[in-house]
Every structure is written in structure tokens, then in C-alpha cells.
Chain A
Amino acid sequence: MISVPELSLVVLVGVSGSGKSTFAARHFAPTQVISSDFCRGLVSDDENDQSATPAAFDLLHHIVGVRLARGLFTVVDATNVQYAARKSLIDLARKHDVLADAIVLDVPEEVAVERNAGRPDRDFGARVVIRQRKELRRSLGKISRDGFRKVHVLRGAGQIDQAVISYEKAWSDKRELTGPFDVIGDVHGCRAELETLLAELGWRGLSHPEGRTAVFVGDLVDRGPDTPGVLRLVMSMVAAGTAICVAGNHEQKLVRALAGRDVKVAHGLQESLDQLAAEPPEFVESARAFMDGLLSHYVLDEGRLVVAHAGLKEAYHGRASGRVRSFALYGDTTGETDEYGLPVRYPWAEEYRGRAMVVYGHTPTVQPEWVNNTICLDTGCVFGGHLTALRYPERELVQVPAEKVWYESVKPLGGPVRDAVMLDIGDVQGTRHVETRFGGRIKVAEENAAAALEVMSRFAVDPRWLVYLPPTMAPSQTSALDGYLEHPDEAFAEFAEAGVTEVVCEEKHMGSRAVAVLARTPEVAAARFGVTDGSAGTVYTRTGRPFFGDLTPLVDRLRQACEPLWEALGSDWVALDCELLPWSAKAGQLIRTQYAAVGAAARAALPEAVSALEAAAGRGLEVSELLERTRRRAGNAALFRDAYARYCWPVDGLEGVRLAPFQILACEGRATALEPHAWHLSTLALLDSPIIAPTRHMFVSLDSPSSRAEATAWWESMTAAGGEGMVVKPAAHTGGRVQPGVKVRGREYLRIIYGPDYTESLDVLRKRFLGKKRSLALREHALGLEALSRLADGEAGWRVHEPVFAVLALESEPVDPRL
């Protein structure tokens, strides 16, 4: 029986003809085995071309390295009879922090020679085997000192044939423990506070009535008043199976001191030594053995939770090496020391992008704060701070204050970490695949990300506020009705066909799409969004730009208007999807340079053309058709002018600006965007303020022809009066390939989009292609919901930013802008 670690590098050792490949094929999956012959073939087209050997090993090392980096069990099939060959593989394993085992296949020389003779491609004769065998025999005696975790030697064909491989889990692998857990920060001999905290957490003696497991992040000992008491309690809990504990740097040092090693007695070690000296030697010995046996980290709950004393970067999770242990015990340092002579810590958590939550201690801070799904629970109890526990998976913090300052700190406790929302270029650049819970994995092409990076960094609001970007919305399928490009019939038919029974029709205001993120107070904004400039909200466009140069007056008014929501939602902040009116407030320049200009040119040119043609007709020239057409176009130009002018009204400061919210995107702990529209509309109806414009709407039962007819009549009357049209949405969130909503725009309004004379060429325009727009709408919608869900779950800033950025990137794809 050969037992190898689940994640390890297994190095086969044996002469040519010893049966390594046969052995590997029998015990391992073909993809797990990387053979030197195979690599030699890849780089030379000849598996036996010895001149290609250096290149072949370069390739082999590369493949093995990539596999180990990705956490894959790997077997190397090469002779490896020389020390140098084995050493380079051990180094490779260490570089990736995995263990290496060797399996030696030791067959008699004649068996190997005979096997090689039977293979026409191995015509190198017996002397090569003899040389290799000599090298192997020389190695065998000391191979166990090469640096392998274990060397498994199989002697003779019999042992080789009968070998069975089994796998052992890494010691740190406790993925099967799914909690719930109470993770407890650095205790440092504060037994009384620990007992109070456990009681606060609901523990009764050594167990919790709900079957919770305590997880200690290490540093149980030193500095505090009762290290033996703490050890006794934790050891009993561990023995009872209700607690696990990782090693801290203080345990590590205390063990060495107890073992009589020469250590510098400082940082509260003396207290432990003194207190333990008063204990019976049996206890001291069992405490030493307990501390000596502590692992440096655990991977828990199917890999979703990692606990290590000083934290652990993702590449080290579940790995084993000296530097993994050192990171877990002492943390990452920059190699510099600060003015207190303490090592300067490297902010690994800021760069942390792993999916597992990492909980740790080691660095005392005033208040625990989440940094990219990691949290430090050391709140300096022994220095007079608090003892802190994290309830997992609830993510609740429970604290008890220190009874007194047990030990003076050399430096003040760390302040709050405010760099937590620092985004890295790696979070957004390049081709990306964003996992979404409502739309699967969504790809963002590199060039789209590049375009979005420019827009995001040059124009967008602070990413801490930018928690959502609205998705694009497709129009309804093209109508065949005479005179119409879009009509409600197609929208109703589409949703009915998808199995939707009720839809809501919401008036489109023809404003500018706006997202408002509002906090009750600047303090709430600071706590929830990490913005410390005193702002309490933002209003941004669909590309993330601030709506106005100075947003404060608008934000203040909106916060005031939203007062009723705080209670209704049980939240101190809210994100709203809205339209900001009038269109001219933001789009004034666009209207003037584009729409008004076209209208001006048309109104200047067409009447003169009409009068020239009339004069020609008066002379008896045959221009009647052209005259008729030009008159019609003059009429269209007037309608076009009315179409845009309707949405323009003068705005003086904020006077005249109105916001029409139609959906509550998120509030504390909830991605409310998933609520049915009836809830949104009724909740938003609580708002009663001159700055809020209500959204007229109508629910339609698709089974009822009269209900459909009523909504169609409503749309007709709105659009005949020049209204933009309406949006038709399934009344409740519907997954799958069903559009979250389609817009049905009015006939006159469409002149702004398709040009004054579009009604003259409807047949051509009906050939429009909607597929890409509809696909984009679905993907962006899924990304939007993902961003809101991550926000509601309290995920790290970069996790919220990722799907938001992806929406902007997708929006840079060229799509017919009239859709």
C-alpha cells in the first residue's frame, strides 16, 4: 500500500525498462502523468531523440508547474535516477507549496534489458540500463534525504505488480466540517473574557446547544493573566470535539521555550513561563504537546472558510510548505520595520481575490473590518480592547470588552482599514468571464474591457458608489401594423408565448436614465460604502457619469424625499433605478447640436424648396410628385421638432428637475431588484415630494383580451399625445431567456430616433435585426442583478465592481443605436 497526499507531486524513479509507464498507466489518470518521453516527442517528433532532452525537460517542468499552480495532483514519469533530476522536481513542488513523494521501481537489471530489447524504438542496448542502474543504486541509500515527504520503494516485479495507491487528505483539509462556527480572535491568556464571550455566544460548558464548533485563530497564550486557564479550556473543548485551533506565533515560540530552546523572552512570554511553572509538569507537558501539534491553517466548510493565525493568501490555501506555515503564523511582511521596531506588514488582504472567506487574528485593530472577504478578529483584548468572535456563516460579530488593560501595548491599536475598496487592474482587464447567479457565466471580450476601462477611469463616479449600471433594453418585435414600427401587440405576444401570465406596463418618461444611491446620513455612507468625503449619495448616468458637476443639492433633496423608505425598507440606504427629467437637463447639448440643429436645417431648407417647386409648378413644369413629397417632409420636420421639444423645459438649478424612480434596486441586505414590480411601485408610491415624478402604470393579464386592449388603448392615447411610450415587463422576476422588459415606443417619438422622415420608409426599417440587442439585454440584466446580489451580500468592493464594469464593457459593443 502506497499512500500519497491528495495534492502532491509524485516522482517515479526507475531505470529505462523498469515499467514506470505501465505502472503509471495502471494507477493514475492519463492526464495526471507527464512523461519525459512524451515531452521529448512534442519538442522533436522523436521520443528517443536524446539531443532534445534539455528542451523536453523544460517543457515537462512547465507543464508540471502549471498543473501544480492549479492545484492538480501530478505524476512525473522519467528515470529520475540522478540526484539533480529529482532535486529540480522537488524544487518545483516547493515552489508551488505542495509535497513531493517518490515511488522507486527497483527491478533486476536483466528484466529491464530484456524489456528494452523487446522494443524496437529502444535500440540503445544494455549499457544505458547498466549505467542508470548504477546511478540508482548509488542514490537509493540517501534518496530519503533528497527532500521527499516519503520515498516508497518497490523491489522486484512482484511488489510492483501488487502495489495499491491510496490518497491521504492534507492535514489542513477539514472541508467536511461545515459548522456553524464561532471563530474567536486572539485570547492571550484572557480566560475571564473568553468565558464571558463563550457565554455570550450561547455556549454551555464545553459545548453549544446548537452544535456549533469553536475555532480559535491562535495566540491563546502570553501576556495575559491566565494562560494555563485558557489552554486548559481550549484543550478540553478540542478534546471534546467542539473546538479546533490553529497555531499562533506565540504558541510556536512558547513551545520552543518549553523545549529548552534558546529564545528571546519578550512580548509576554515571561508571563506564560511563570504561570506554567506553577502548574503540574504533566499539564505543562500536555499543553506543550497540544501546542506543538497545532496546524498552521484549516480549510473548512467545503473550502468556503479558511482560518489561519495571520491570514493566508489564496495560493497557499490547503498547501503545505515552510513558507505557507510561516505566512500563516507571522503574516506577510515587507521586510522593513516600523518606528516601533515591529515588522511592517504587507497588506496581502487588499490584494486577496479568493472566493473563500479568510478569518484570522495576529494584528490588533480597534474594530474588525472586512477587507475583500477577509477579516481580522484581533481586537487587542489583552491590551484593554475587546475579545471578538465571528459567527459563521451568519457573518455576525460578537464582542466582549476587556476587564482591564492586562498588558501595555508598545504601539497603539491599528485604525480602521480604508484601503479595502482599492480596485486592482486585474479585476477588470483582459478577457473575463463573470459568474452570475441568474445568467450563468458571461464573457467580456478584452477589447470591450479596454474601452470600458477608459470610460470608467476618465468619466465615472467613485466606484464605491457605482454599485450598478442599468442594462440595455430591447424594443418589442417589429410591428407589421400599417404606420407602426412598434406596437404593444408584439410585446404581449412575446411574453404570453414565454408563459408569462401577467405583465406590467410602465410609462416611459423620456428623461435620462439615472441611478440614485442614497444614504440616510454621511455616516451611513461612510460605514456602508466607505466614502469618507462627507457625501451621502450620488446620481449617475447609465455610463456611470455624475449627473451634475455638483451633486450635493440634488442628493440632499432626494435623501429628504426618500425619508419614507428608510422605515419601509428597514434600511439606512437605498439604490434606485430612475429616469431624470427633463431630458434637456442632462442632454441639453446633445439636443441642441443634434436634434435642434437637424430641425433648424429642415425648417430653413424645406419651405424654400416647396416655394421653388410651387413656382416651377406655376410655370407648368411637371413637379407635382416632388412637390407633394417635399410638402410632406416639411410636415414631418415640424412633427420632429415637436417630438423633441416636448421633452425640453428650462431648468434653473434644480428647479424643474424631477426624478421618476421605478425600481428599488437594493437596500441593506437585500437585492430588492428581484421583488415583483407591484412591490416596487407600491413602495415607491410612499414617496410624496415635488422632486419625485410618479410612474404611471397598468397591470395586464395576458390571458384577457380586454385587459390587453385596455393597455393598448392607454399606450395609444399616451403616444398620440407625444409620449415616449411604455416598457412592458413580466410582473414578477422571470429567469431563463425571457427578456426582463421590452420597450414599445410611440410613433411620433420614434422620429427622434429614426429621423423625421422615417414614416416614409417603414418597409425598409422593418428589416431591423433585434437579436444582438436582445442577447445583450439579457446578459447585462444578469450582470446587473449579480452586482446587486453581491452588494446585498456584503461582498468585497472588487466583487461588486466586476459585474458593473462588465455591463459597461458590453455596452461598448456596436449595436444599432436606434434599437
Chain B
Amino acid sequence: MLLTISTTAPPATDLGFLLHKHPGRVQRFGQSFGEATVFYPEADERRCTAALLLDVDPVALARSRGKGSPDFSLSQYVNDRPYAASSLLAVALADVFRTARAGRCAARPELASTPLPLEIRLPALPCRGGPELAGRLFAPLGWRVTAEPVPLDEGFPEWGDSRYVRLTLDGTVRLADALNHLYVLLPVLDEAKHYWIAPDEIDKLIRAGEGWLRDHPERDLIVRRYMGRRWTMARAALARLAELGDETEEQLEPAVAEDAPPGRTAGDEAAAAEAGAETEEPAAEPAKRKPLNTQRRQAVLETLEELGAVSVIDLGCGQGELVGALLSRPRFARVGGMDVSPMALTIAARKLKLERMPDAKRARLTLFQGALTYTDKRLAGYDAAVLMEVIEHVDPPRLAALERVVFGHAKPAHVLVTTPNVEYNVRYEFLTGLRHADHRFEWTRAEFAAWAEGVAARHGYRVAFRPVGEEDPEVGPPTQMGVFTRD
């Protein structure tokens, strides 16, 4: 909430002309969530510093939002907005220094178009991606960047650093450019915006990025983060339950991510986000070949065709990729899709264009919410059931319930189960831990085989195993598939 801009270009007090704010005055500007004050802690010929202090009223901030806001949760009350240099500060800066940001200065026109020695300080800049990212974003623009991490709590050194940095930018830069850099990059580093992202946002970005954004080496990351993750669904209920359980919201990400998933598995989150909407796997090698999820879907479809299944239910259908693929093949006369997440089902319905689906196709499809730990009559009566990358999201003690629901009660003639082969994980360069934050386990081929054969024996099935994805001579395929057939 504090930004200082200093210059040492003599006479330094000309900064007042450039900013259109008199160094001898204290000026206040009403903002939607508080008040911005511009004053000069120092102003002489050698050095002049303008300070923008944004006093955010957290109560007003919280109250301005309806229940439908995407973050109806405690975080909107106890949050860093009053202290951190966020989009609130960026907006205040754009408003208060509007003329300066446009590069206009009637009194000193030549100064406005001249790069000046500037020092910009932000004592608490939220910087998701670490201090190093601040360097990657500002350095190409001509700044010397000093980003010192702020420790979380001196009393608990084991907690490490916070996501904030104390940022100092030094450089000889046009003032208008400097202001535009801040306007765009503050919310990018924060990776959050306090307002809904409207369609005109792209125009604002292009205007503010004129002259520097196009050739910025991190342009894609800047654009993607600036535009924000567009959650079209409120996650209010899930977020609220998370809080009661003392969980953080991040842990409650739906098992499916909409649009770009947050990069959690690969070292470089940008790469993961760009790898595509559906993939959970980190990119093991340059993305030339088919993504693993596509190969997996292909393998499942081929197996189903081979088995001669006519009716198929996808248990844990997520956003309905497999369901869509099944529907596009007329041989599958009846297609079911079940997921536990109402949000996933809403997205699936939208992606499948359920509302506009022709009657004949619509009649082949049943889409519903259900959970694999509850018996459910709706699961019965299909030739085949598919559990594609589902079992690893179930806590091991609950697998017995899943087993009874699918193999004991629904009892389709065939069940296809795919799950990661954990042995293959060594082939993922950036992977630490499991392939997805919600995976409760990942099995070796032997572990999967042991489980599958036990299930088959208990419920009168035979099981065969197939590799999915390119098989590595040493560690096997990235995904393993069990094909169960009832005796």
C-alpha cells in the first residue's frame, strides 16, 4: 500500500511537475476501497521522493462484495490487501497519476519524454513465483532489481519466507513507462485481482503495455496472469467447508481444473499451465507427441470397441472428455457419465453442449452426480464401466467401498481401470512427489496388479493388464490399465 518514486535528476523537484502533484502539498484522492494520499517525504534539488500511500479499509472492501463473489470466505476479511502492493495499488496509481502515465506534462514536456534516473520502492510486494520472478519481469525493462524476501514470522524462522518481497527498482526510465510497468506487473506478480475481469481488460493491457510488452521475454506469462484465471463457477460452498476444517483453499481445488490448471507439479508453472487444459502430467519431454491424456482416452476407447461394449458408463467423468468421445461414436448406444463434483458436471454439460444436443444424441446420454463410495442403482445395466484416473483420488481405506459399489453391486461385464504407474515418475524431470496434489497414492505395476487381482478374485472377474503411453523398458508405461471381465 506504499509506493515511493524517487529521482536524483537535478532539479529533482521537477518530479512534482511530472507527477502533477506539488511537493509542498499533501493531496488526498478517494478510492473505492479507501483513500490514496500523495506526499513527498523528501524534496530538494538533489533528491525528491513522492510517496503514494493507499489506506485500504478492509471492512469496506469486504462489504462491497456480494455472497456470489468467488471468495466468500474468511480470506476476504483477514487479508493482505491493506498492506501489500496489489491490484488495488495499481488501480490507485493509474488513477492518481493518470496524466503522468499518459506521458503528458505541459510544464516540462521534454522531461516527460526523457528517461530519468528513478528509484522505485515497494516494501511489501506479493510475488508469486519468488523474488527471482520479479527480476525476470522487471530486468528486461531496464531496471536493476533488488527483491529481498520478507520472512513470514521472525518468531518462527522454520516457516521460511513469505510470498512478499521488498522490491527496489533502479534505472533510467521514462516516468510514464515506469508507471505503466507497475500498473501491469503488480497484479501479474500478485496473480490476483480485486475486481472481476471484464472484456475490456485486454484493451487496458495493450494500452499500458505499449512499447514494451510485445518484446518482453516473459510476455506470455504476463498476459496469462494479467487476464487471471476465470473461474466461472463460484466455489463458495467448497471454500467454506475448507475453512471449517482448517484447510487452505488451495488444497480444495476441484479434482478437475477449469481452463488453465495451476502449475503445481512441474517446476515451471508456466509450462504446466500451457501444456493444456486437461493434463495432470508434467511435461516429460518436448510436447511433440500426443499428450498422455489423449493417448489414455484413445486406449480406453479402443479397448471398449474391442470388447464390443455397447453401453458404457464413465465413473468419475470429470469434464466429460471421454463421454464426448463415446457419444461421437454411434456404436456406443448408451453412455453414462458420473462425477462427484457438481462443478465438473456443470462444465461437462457446457462442454458437451447438453442444452443444444439433438434429441437422438441426448437420449443416449445420462449425466449425474454420484460418489463411488455409495451404492447406486444408476450405475447398473451398462456393458462396461470406466474408472479412468479415478482410484488414485480415493483414500486407500475407502477403496474397499469403491470395490463393492463397482464390482459387487453395479457388476458390469467389463471394468476398465487406469491409474498412474509410479515407477515411471522418475522420467518426469521436474516432478517432486506425486503427479497431482489430490492423488492419495500412486502404485507400482506390482501394487496395481495385486489390488486388481484381489478384486477380480473376490467378485468373479478376470483381469488383464495393458500399458498406456510409450512403454519404458526399465520403468514401464506412464499409465497402467486393468481390463476386468466378469466370468
Contact = CB atoms under 8 A, between A and B. Distances in A.
Given A455-B238, A545-B245, A754 B77 contact: yes
B67 interface: yes
A609 B248 contact: no
A191 B82 CA distance: 86
Contacts of A419: 404, 408
A541 B243 CA distance: 11
Given A423-B373, A589-B248, A604-B164, A622 B26 contact: yes
A450 interface: yes
A600 B238 contact: no
Contacts of B137: none
A366 interface: no
B249 to A, nearest CB: 9
Nearest to B161: A600
B159 A812 contact: no
A553 to B, nearest CB: 17
Interface string A402-440: 000000000000000001001111111100000000000
A529 interface: no
Interface string B235-253: 0111011011111101100
A595 interface: yes
B78 A542 contact: no
Contacts of A447: 237, 342
Given A458-B393, A609-B53, A613-B53, A451 B238 contact: yes
B59 A601 contact: no
Given A596-B162, A612-B53, A817-B73, A811 B41 contact: no
Nearest to A350: B375
Given A592-B159, A594-B75, A596-B152, A427 B240 contact: no
B156 interface: yes
Interface stretch (B197-205, B297-305, B364-372): B364-372
B126 A612 contact: no
B2 A605 contact: yes
Interface in B327-386: 340-342, 369-378
B16 to A, nearest CB: 13
A678 interface: no
A636 B33 CA distance: 20
A512 interface: yes
B173 to A, nearest CB: 22
B153 interface: yes
A296 interface: no
Interface in A579-626: 583, 586-587, 589-590, 592-602, 604-606, 608-609, 611-613, 615-616, 619, 621-623, 626
B390 to A, nearest CB: 11
B124 A422 contact: no
Contacts of B404: 419, 422
B374 A423 contact: yes
A812 B77 contact: no
B57 to A, nearest CB: 7
Range of interface residues on B (Cβ < 8 Å)? 35 or more
B75 A600 contact: no
Nearest to B344: A454
B119 to A, nearest CB: 14
Given A594-B75, A621-B40, A601 B373 contact: no
B58 interface: yes
A589 B155 CA distance: 16
Contact of A650 (B1, B150, B158, B405): B158
- Dominant secondary structure of chain A at its interface with chain B: helix
A425 B77 contact: no
Contacts of B398: 457, 462
Contact of A648 (B59, B121, B156, B372): B156
Contacts of A650: 156, 158
Contacts of B250: 593
Contacts of A315: none
A499 B1 CA distance: 51
Interface string A194-230: 0000000000000000000000000000000000000
B151 interface: yes
Nearest to B369: A450
Contact of A533 (B374, B397, B405): B397
Contacts of A682: none
Interface residues of A, number: 88
A543 interface: yes
B26 A616 contact: yes
Interface in B208-240: 236-238, 240
Contacts of B2: 605, 608-609, 612
B127 to A, nearest CB: 11
A616 B67 contact: no
A626 B53 contact: yes
Contacts of A753: 74, 77-78
A654 interface: no
B241 A623 contact: no
Contacts of A455: 238, 241
Interface stretch (A17-25, A48-56, A658-666, A757-765): A757-765
A373 to B, nearest CB: 17
A440 to B, nearest CB: 25
A458 B1 CA distance: 39
B57 A427 contact: no
B80 interface: yes
B237 A757 contact: no
B369 A543 contact: no
Interface string A452-470: 0111111101110000000
B51 interface: yes
A641 interface: yes
Contact of A619 (B40, B57, B82, B158): B40
Nearest to B51: A612
B4 interface: yes
Contacts of B40: 616, 619, 621
Nearest to B151: A600
Given A597-B152, A601-B126, A456 B371 contact: yes
Contacts of A457: 340, 371-374, 398
B153 A541 contact: no
Nearest to A423: B374
A587 B374 CA distance: 30
Contact of B153 (A599, A608, A629, A812): A599
A808 B162 contact: no
13 contacts: A447-B342, A451-B241, A457-B340, A594-B78, A596-B156, A600-B152, A600-B164, A604-B123, A604-B124, A609-B2, A648-B156, A811-B240, A818-B77
Interface of A: 350-351, 419, 422-429, 447-448, 450-451, 453-459, 461-463, 512, 533, 541-543, 545, 583, 586-587, 589-590, 592-602, 604-606, 608-609, 611-613, 615-616, 619, 621-623, 626, 629-630, 633, 637, 641, 645, 648, 650, 752-758, 761, 764-765, 808, 811-815, 817-818
Interface of B: 1-2, 4, 24-26, 37, 39-43, 49, 51, 53, 55, 57-59, 63, 67, 72-75, 77-80, 82-84, 121, 123-124, 126, 150-153, 155-156, 158-159, 162-164, 166, 236-238, 240-241, 243-248, 250-251, 255, 340-342, 369-378, 393, 397-398, 401, 404-405, 408, 438
